[in-house]
Amino acid sequence: MANKQTETTGAKLKTCFVIMPISDMKGYDNGHFTRVYNELIKPAVKSANYDVYRAGDDKRCNFIMIDILRNILDADMVICDLSGHNPNALYELGIRHAFNKPVVLLKDDKTARLFDTDGFRYARYDHSLGADLVKNSIIEIRNAVIETAQAVPRDVNSIVQLLGILPAQNINQFELSQESTILYHYLQDIATQLTHVHDAVNPETAKHWHEFDKLVTPQGKIFPVGCHLYKGSVLMGEITTAFPNAVIYETSDAETGIAEFQELDDEDYRVELISSQ
């Protein structure tokens, strides 16, 4: 995601990518982590003068894991919410640490500290998200972002630095001759067209995200665009976009969520047509 410019000075804002659960988790209310992002993390990071975003904020039809990995590597700052010990968040934190890039660890009060990250400082918040408690947590997270950005080289930011080993390196693009560049882009265009054809014919095995009118899960459950998505008796929202392996839905509060077909194959998920009345 490109850096944005401030309205007053025209200077580019630094970027902050948020690693956190993007779906509901056992032990938390539905929509809990969306509230954490919108009511706690986003205002804290914005007050530190960063452009903040997380997986699913970009509405372009890209393969989401590629976007996540690119953001993990390219963002100026990363916040990782380890609440609930979400395995995806732990995996993504490991990638950020491997490159020894600045990251702020975050967790709620009901999540135990992890042995592998126990030596690092956490910013904490109350999982109830009470109004008074949120105000204090916003200040703590903001300060953690600013202090992490200003850290001197001797400050330990990751296990890689703690062990004194060389971090992983981004591989820069090598230079091509003019003829090779033309051939490269020509082959790249052919590959893109072949991918589109493959995904259109085989949506269930598509490797890139392209929009469809419905998602059909591996178990044959159908989730059409324009229908209400339910988990049990709880209305999640209206399905607005379907991809080969996930749907995006919009809640009554105009927030967006993502549900992948592994979740949707759960018998608790179902759809209903939206009443015309």
Could you give the CA distance from residue 233 to residue 239 in angstroms, rounded to a whole number?
Answer: 16
Single pTM value for the model: 0.56
Displacement of CA 82 from its chain's centroid (Å): 13
Cβ contacts of residue 203 below 8 Å, gap of 6+? 210, 212, 216, 244
Displacement of CA 183 from its chain's centroid (Å): 34
Q: Which residues of 224-234 are buried (b: 16+ CB within 10 A; e: fewer)?
A: ebebbbebeee
* CATH topology (fold) of 14-163: Rossmann fold (3.40.50)
Q: Sketch the domain layout of the chain as residue ranges.
A: 14-163, 214-273
Q: What confidence score (pLDDT) does residue 69 get?
A: 82
Q: What confidence score (pLDDT) does residue 37 get?
A: 93
Average pLDDT per 10 consecutive residues for the chain, totaling 277 residues: 50 86 87 92 92 72 65 91 89 85 91 76 89 87 90 55 55 52 57 55 50 82 93 92 82 83 87 76
Q: Return phi, psi of residue 5, to 5°.
A: -100, 145
Tokens for 251, please give them. Answer: 């809640």
* CATH topology (fold) of 214-273: SH3 type barrels. (2.30.30)
